[in-house]
Amino acid sequence: MNSETVLVTGATGMLGRMVLDKLIPAGFKIIVLIEPSQWHSIELPKEISLLKGDIRRPETYRDTLKTCTYVIHIAASTQVYPRRNANCYNINTEAVKLLAEEVLQSSVKRLVHIGTASSFGSGTKTTLRSELSDFNLAAYGMDYINSKQQAQSYLLQLHSQRQLPVIIINPTFMIGPYDRIPSSGRMLKTLLSGSLPGYTHGGRSFVYSGDVAEAIVNALTQGRNGQCYITGGENLSYKDFFTLACTLYNKPFTLKRIPLGLTHILGFLSSAWARVVQKPPLLSYGVSLLAGKYQFYSSAKATAELNYKITPLSNAIKESVDWMVKHNVFKIQ
């Protein structure tokens, strides 16, 4: 039995739950920080110890942190609607600053912080973005993206100035099980339930969430402090991604490409209507602005230093969809 203790935040989300699946076999003692509002609705393995607390209130986890060897910080606000959202900064930036200070005052060996590949901007297949790339998405005004980038810059600065023992994992667009909301699986749900109106120009690096989780656990003892590691997968256009999903479930691909200008109009109108009905839109204006971008990345550094391996995307899609269907998130039409 491993005698080292890991404190995990954000363990009830898609990625967090996968991280637990990787940590348990490794024998770590695992403590999960849970907000009081989620206390009675969680379903976690019996091997996990639960700590009622709030990442924004260090006094709720300070004493426990002193007993921990490692911290994996996944908790974040991933809201992309509305674009301007102060909650993103409260959770994704300010709470991270508080946690980092607590880590510095403890004997924690390493903080593994989960950022986003978007902190390195967007690139094409011929110009893949890497950890050396500059951030080029600030002009889109997405507080989620900007708040994550600010947190990353702060942590790297704190490592340089005060030797904060931190590694940052930067996932691309994750696909996998445990997606109850669903979040990233929403595209697959909309496609396979027959309600996706079309696809846009652009694409993403689609990655299996289990691969990212493996890299996170590896980062507890591998890699270098003060470094970022992009954990990506297959760089595909939206057309190719949807075609693959349709093929896996024996559905004909009949979608037409929606012109980018029309996408922006639909996003603007959907966001306006969402403010009226007080429900998040299927396509927000902020997301429509990014829809035509190719967000393609290289994972060469993670492969070399974190023993990172990439699972075929077809496997990730099957796990994601089959899990959602099994748990009644949606039905395939």
- pTM of the model as a whole: 0.95
Provide the CATH topology of domain 5-181+204-236+296-311.
Rossmann fold (3.40.50)
Give the per-residue pLDDT at 273.
Answer: 80
Q: Which amino acid is at 1?
A: M
Over the stretch 69-117, which tens digit does the pLDDT of each residue have? Answer: 999 999 998 887 676 788 899 999 999 999 999 999 999 999 999 999 9
Percent of the chain with pLDDT over 70: 98
Listed in order, strand segments (DSSP E) in 55-97 are: 70-73
| Distance of alpha carbon 236 from alpha carbon 202, whole angstroms | 9
Structure tokens at 42: 């969680």
Predicted confidence (pLDDT) per residue in 294-329, tens digit: 999 999 999 999 999 999 999 999 999 999 999 999
Q: Which of 316, 18, 12 is nearest to 185 (CA)?
A: 316
Q: What percent of the chain has pLDDT over 90?
A: 74
Q: Residue range 242-256: average pLDDT?
A: 96
Residue-wise pLDDT tens digits, 215-239: 999 999 999 999 999 999 999 999 9
Residues 207, 174: contact at Cβ < 8 Å?
yes
Residue pair 91/132 in contact by the 8 Å Cβ criterion: no
- The whole-angstrom separation of Cα 229 and Cα 235 is 17
70: helix, strand or coil: strand
CB-count burial class (<10 Å; 0-12, 13-18, 19+) for 134: exposed
How many C-alpha atoms does 317 have within 13 Å on its Cβ side?
A: 21
| Mean pLDDT score, 169-173 | 98
Q: Report the SS3 class of residue 234.
A: strand
* 8 Å CB contact between 148 and 118: yes
Judged by DSSP in three states, 40 sits in: coil
Q: From CA 58, how far away is CA 270, in angstroms rounded? A: 38
Checking if the pLDDT of 284 tops 90, the result is no
Q: For residue 287, name the pLDDT band (cuts at 50, 70, 90).
A: confident
The string of pLDDT tens digits covering residues 188-203 is: 999 999 999 899 989 9
